[in-house]
Amino acid sequence: RSSPIKASSAMANVLVTFDVDGTLIESAGDDANRMHKEAFAHAFKSVLGLDTGIDCVPHHGFTDPLILLAVALHHGIEEARVRACFDELKQSMIDYVRAKTETEGIAFAGKGIRALPGVEDLLKRLKARGLHSGPGRHGAAGGSSDGEGAKQRGRLFVGLGTGNLEPIGWLKMESLGLKPLFTSPPLGGFGTDFMVEALQPHNPQSSRFFFRYLELPRCR
């Protein structure tokens, strides 16, 4: 039997995370997801010598590292070689997008993507909620130091939880003007930090998860 939830003078912090592709944004037009696809192609060419892209394999829902592995295996590259090159492949993608945005501007990151309807409004509302929920002066919510306002309240943090490599995920948000609506400094979990190995979905032993843990500031 569940117990009713009771109000507490010390509420927990709350972390809200969003996936990127298909959740906050969608691909659009002839240049669909251009920056991300070009970054993959650059990494395959510069590190593995492959002249290829990601559309040669099904990759919907894959993390970036898993896409790197799937495409390389598709072209006959030994798995051990791919794994040995993971850091180099990911860094090659990151270096590419940073160089392109430096020379072409942040607009390059926004080519072929757009925010889904309602996303900006939702993020603005969450940001406003976060700004008014943290402990203010003397530890009181909203800066008040007496009455109900003096009760400590949890803080709201908004980040990303995506298979995109971290710089790529944030560049997408920045290019669409959404990055300022997230908690600063930015936080979340990314393809830079973990890979979900699900190439054999019917084999439970083929799925392994690597996560980076987030430690949120305590409400004082």
Q: Which amino acid is at 7?
A: A
First to last CA, the chain: 32
Exposure of 106 in the CB half-sphere (CA atoms within 13 A): 12
Which of the four pLDDT bands, split at 50, 70 and 90, describes residue 157?
very high
Does position 95 have pLDDT exceeding 50, yes or no? yes
pLDDT digits (tens, 9 = 90+) for 50-83: 999 999 999 888 899 999 999 999 999 999 999 9
166: Cβ contacts below 8 Å, ≥ 6 apart: 188, 190, 191, 192, 193
Q: How far apart are CA 185 and CA 182, in angstroms?
A: 8
Element (H, E) at 18: strand 14-18
Is the previous residue joined to 217 through a cis bond, with omega within 30 degrees of 0? no
Distance of CA 99 to the CA centre of its chain: 20
Entry pTM:
0.78
Strands (E), 24-133: 25-27, 113-115
Percent of the chain with pLDDT over 70: 73
